[in-house]
Amino acid sequence: MRKYLQNIALFFSAFLIMLFLICPPLRYDPNAYLASCTDKLDRLSNSQKIKAQRLIILGGSGAAFSTNSELIGKELSLYPINMGLHGGLGLRWDLESALPYIRKGDLIVIREEYAKFTMSYDRNSPNKYVYATYMMDSRCYSGSNIKRYMLLLDNYWLEYIRFFQSRIAQYQKILLLKSKVKVKMKRLWEIRCLKAFHPSPNYSRLYFSSSGDINTNRTRSVTLKEMKTPRIFERWNPTSLKKSINLINHFADCCNKKGAKVVLMYPLIAWKAQSTNQKQKHLKNLHELNAYLRKHLRLEILNTPWSALAPPRYFFNTQYHANSLGMNIGSYLEMKALRHFAAGGKAAVEQEPPPNFLENFEQNWRKIELEVEKSRFNHNQKLSQ
């Protein structure tokens, strides 16, 4: 029996050593990008008693980088709260973390990345591990934050096992490289530790505005070589899509019972296609997705996916992270749609892309740019840069 217990202790000791080597240690960086989670949730919970109607935007980093919620809130006389943070956290986290704080009169905009609809982000998201490290400060031990933390770590061990297996696979590949083992080990450690906890200048808790928008001057435009075609443009997974629809419908039903309104808007995204045939294929897949969502979602969709396809010059590093120009344009279009909806109008959207959509793509966006500039001049206010 004693030898048996010694073997068990030896096994767990080896497991813990491997765990420490493969994964970065738990630590808290108060200025890390993901640490802003507590700020966003605090703003949402603390604003429950204010009299003004609230505008709550749910989404990933695309919502944080592409939405000027302060401008939209000022134009529509709403109290803005941008909850956009990280796409890898999953649709369930975005919806359920906000649900306890929804109240009567709220206007909630679901503005999620396409991967949230078509991929199982919630079942295998290593980013949740990194996210958890940023929540390990003293405030997490209060009652409300414990609930947030437990929601984040739901099915955590299953995800952690998968994450651990993926790290083991990477180490096996590294060991096969013999002469490059030290280089690869060092690189893996830098990726998992240094880069995870010391993000680039645009990714910091310090750059979030009080309403939850990323407030930096982003003038760079992404190049075509840097862009990757989203899977949704090529295909979409019906099984994952049904699960996402069930989550959204359940969230919308709960909000409706509380007296809040929920709408969905497709996110602004950089569009890259090499040929006309590829562009037509992308539009066909987006048309099918749009038709499916409109048929099964129990809420109103205020735009179309093709109306949110934008030139790459509006984005600075990924297809969802808008630069300053893209943020202004995306916010203006979102404001127009919400203003029409708030006035009681029903969104008039095309059932399919216009026949001349490809030919007039650039021309239409140039018109929108001029419209935004004119709007800024007439309203005599400066959009966030």
The model carries a pTM of 0.77
Report whether 252 contacts 96 (CB < 8 A).
no
> Which of 185-194, 219-228, 360-369 shows the lowest per-residue confidence on average (mean pLDDT)?
185-194
Q: What is the mean predicted confidence (pLDDT) over 5-32?
A: 66
pLDDT band at 173 (very low <50, low <70, confident <90, very high): low
CA distance 25 to 4: 30
Task: Select, from the ranges 90-99, 130-139, 364-373, the one with the highest average predicted confidence (pLDDT).
Answer: 364-373
pLDDT > 70? residue 126: no
pLDDT digits (tens, 9 = 90+) for 221-272: 766 666 666 666 667 777 778 888 999 999 999 999 999 999 999 999 998 7
Q: Is the pLDDT of residue 108 over 80?
A: yes
User: Tens digit of pLDDT for each residue in 307-348?
Assistant: 999 998 999 888 899 998 899 999 999 999 998 888 776 665
pLDDT per residue as tens digits for the range 46-104: 998 899 999 999 999 999 999 999 989 999 999 999 999 888 778 888 898 899 999 99
| Contact of 322 with 331, CB cutoff 8 Å | no
Please tell me what DSSP assigns to residue 261: E
Percent of the chain with pLDDT over 90: 33
Pick 277 or 384 by higher pLDDT.
Answer: 277
Per-residue tokens: 336: 């127009």
Q: How far apart are CA 354 and CA 15, in angstroms?
A: 58
Tell me the mean pLDDT in the region 274-294: 87
DSSP 223: -
Question: Which carries the bigger pLDDT value, residue 356 or residue 162?
Answer: 356
Q: Which among 2-6, 162-166, 285-289 has the top mean pLDDT?
A: 285-289
Tokens, residue 260? 């809040």
State residue 189's pLDDT score. Answer: 44
Please state, in angstroms and rounded to a whole number, the distance separating the CA atoms of residues 383 and 385.
6
Domain limits, the chain: 29-379
Question: What percentage of the chain reaches a pLDDT higher than 70?
Answer: 66
Q: How far apart are CA 365 and CA 370, in angstroms?
A: 9
